[in-house]
Amino acid sequence: MKLDKVQLTHFRNISSATLLPSRSLTVITGKNGSGKSSLLEAIFYLGFGRSFRTAKHRSVIQHEQPAFSIFAQGTNDNEATFKVGMERRNTDQFTCSIDGEHSHRLADLVSLIPVQLFTPQSTDLVIGSPAERRKFMDWGLFHVEQSFHGLHAAYTKLLKQRNALLKQNATLKEPQHNYWQEQLVVVGEKLDLQRQRYMEALKPVFNAISSEFLPEFSVEISYYKGWEKEASLAEALDKKYEYDFRVGHTSSGPHKADVRFKVNGINAQEILSRGQLRMAVAALQLAQTALFSKQTNRKSIFLLDDVGAELDIDKRERFIDGLLAMDTQIFVTAIESQQLEFVDKYNDKKMFHVEHGHVTEE
Ligand SMILES: Nc1ncnc2c1ncn2[C@@H]1O[C@H](COP(=O)(O)OP(=O)(O)OP(=O)(O)O)[C@@H](O)[C@H]1O
């Protein structure tokens, strides 16, 4: 899919802006604090329903305003045009509309617009908590497996139920609790199977790309399902039952899943420099884009924030070349256009400049 128009109102320091991006490469430059990341943040909102900088929607609403809104128009992968809009109020009320139909279901909106992001914090994907890597895997699954969203929501609910019972010191072996435990196992195993399949498909794509990005290392990714490899989820829960009962929460299951990065058998973060870690992340994201495109026949949108600070010139170019080769619509921010001299070679691009929240096309 491609975005042809993005309009923001009362979003951070941007009172009102309209961006008519390129379907290929859009470059946004501006000084620190000018508002260029806010433009990416707005597009990210369309793809995730949240910010990549804060969990508080209110912080994103322009000071002294009651709400922000984002409107976008584009073409989906069947060449049909669409219009979407969303609004977040300072009362925490959320509304969105898709082709004029109002909805309060975020999943309806975000399933339409597949967005990925690379920022100065992207190394968290390797060195941050497992939750970051689960989000990464689940992005792929959300856009590929129709049942994933429902399964994930059901698992989260059942897990909450089990944890609440553990906190109340209820013995889960009692027959009235069996149903919840059994459901948790059924849903949890299905979730795990989807993640396993996804990671198996991602591995070879990642291997090929990482050998190009980090030719001096052999980086391997592996999937950890959240409990012992050989055991079923029922067995794992059973084995940890006494412990879970003592601590009052469930210590194994798909909510503990992870993706592990190893270089020559050693944890990647112990070997790779920060720059190399960024390249590993870039390779992983390129692999995800390629797999998304292959599995769904759709195109994603890629946001690259502060690209100059992130990758050296050669890798920057390779990253963008790789994304464009997959017909990804890219939005790049940089403080100065000198950091992006290589973009001269791309014909199909648009350049914008942001100053104090005002966006102008160059
Ligand atoms: N809710 C808000 N209302 C008004 N202004 C805000 C709000 N939140 C943040 N700002 C301001 O909006 C600007 C947002 O800038 P943004 O982070 O998009 O800048 P940037 O151009 O990406 O800068 P940098 O290069 O430093 O990352 C900042 O000047 C910030 O102080």
Token pair listed for 304: 């690259």
For residues 255 and 131, give the distance between their C-alpha atoms in angstroms, rounded to a whole number.
8
| Cα 242 to chain centroid, rounded | 36
CA distances from 6 to 248, 280, 338 (A): 47, 31, 26
Does the CA dihedral 35-57-43-142 come out positive or negative? Answer: positive
pLDDT at 244: 92
Token pair listed for 126: 């390797």
pLDDT at 104: 79
For residues 132 and 121, give the distance between their C-alpha atoms in angstroms, rounded to a whole number.
11
Q: Taking residues 252-261, what's their average pLDDT?
A: 97
pLDDT > 90? residue 167 = no
For residues 246 and 243, give the distance between their C-alpha atoms in angstroms, rounded to a whole number.
5
For residues 340 and 29, give the distance between their C-alpha atoms in angstroms, rounded to a whole number.
10
pLDDT > 90? residue 178 = no
Q: Tell me which residue has its CA closest to atom 9 in ligand 1.
A: 12
Q: Which residues line ligand 1 (CB under 6 A)?
A: 12-13, 30, 32-38, 59, 61-63, 335
pLDDT at 236: 96
- What would the pLDDT profile of 224-237 be if each residue is shown by its tens digit? 999 999 999 999 99
CATH class of 1-114+298-362: alpha beta
pLDDT at 108: 84
- What would the pLDDT profile of 76-130 be if each residue is shown by its tens digit? 988 899 999 999 999 988 899 999 999 878 888 888 999 999 988 889 999 999 9
Q: Taking residues 212-225, what's their average pLDDT?
A: 92
Mean pLDDT of the chain: 92
Is 36 annotated in a binding site? The answer is yes
**46, 96 Cβ separation under 8 angstroms:** no
pLDDT at 117: 95
For residues 54 and 288, give the distance between their C-alpha atoms in angstroms, rounded to a whole number.
24
For residues 182 and 104, give the distance between their C-alpha atoms in angstroms, rounded to a whole number.
31
pLDDT > 90? residue 187 = yes
Q: Cα(42) to centroid of ligand 1, in Å?
A: 12
For residues 42 and 50, give the distance between their C-alpha atoms in angstroms, rounded to a whole number.
9
Give the containing element (helix H, strand E) for 66. Answer: none
Bridge partners (DSSP) of residue 149 are none
ipTM of the modeled complex: 0.97
- Topology agreement, domain 1-114+298-362 and domain 129-297: no
Q: Cα(83) to centroid of ligand 1, in Å?
A: 27
Q: Tell me which residue has its CA closest to atom 30 in ligand 1.
A: 33
Q: Tell me which residue has its CA closest to atom 3 in ligand 1.
A: 62
For residues 326 and 339, give the distance between their C-alpha atoms in angstroms, rounded to a whole number.
23
Three-state secondary structure call for residue 70: strand
pLDDT > 80? residue 308 = no
Q: Cα(336) to centroid of ligand 1, in Å?
A: 17
pLDDT > 80? residue 176 = no
pLDDT at 177: 74
pLDDT > 80? residue 162 = yes
Q: Tell me which residue has its CA closest to atom 7 in ligand 1.
A: 12
pLDDT > 90? residue 337 = no
Least confident of 12-16, 79-83, 106-110, 182-186: 106-110
Q: Cα(35) to centroid of ligand 1, in Å?
A: 5
* Choices 2.40.128.120, 1.20.1050.90, 1.10.10.1100, 3.40.50.300: CATH for 129-297: 1.20.1050.90
pLDDT at 103: 84
The domain segmentation of the chain, as residue ranges, is: 1-114+298-362, 129-297
Is 140 annotated in a binding site? The answer is no
| Pocket residue to mutate for ligand 1, from 8, 9, 10, 12, most atoms within 8 A of Cβ | 12
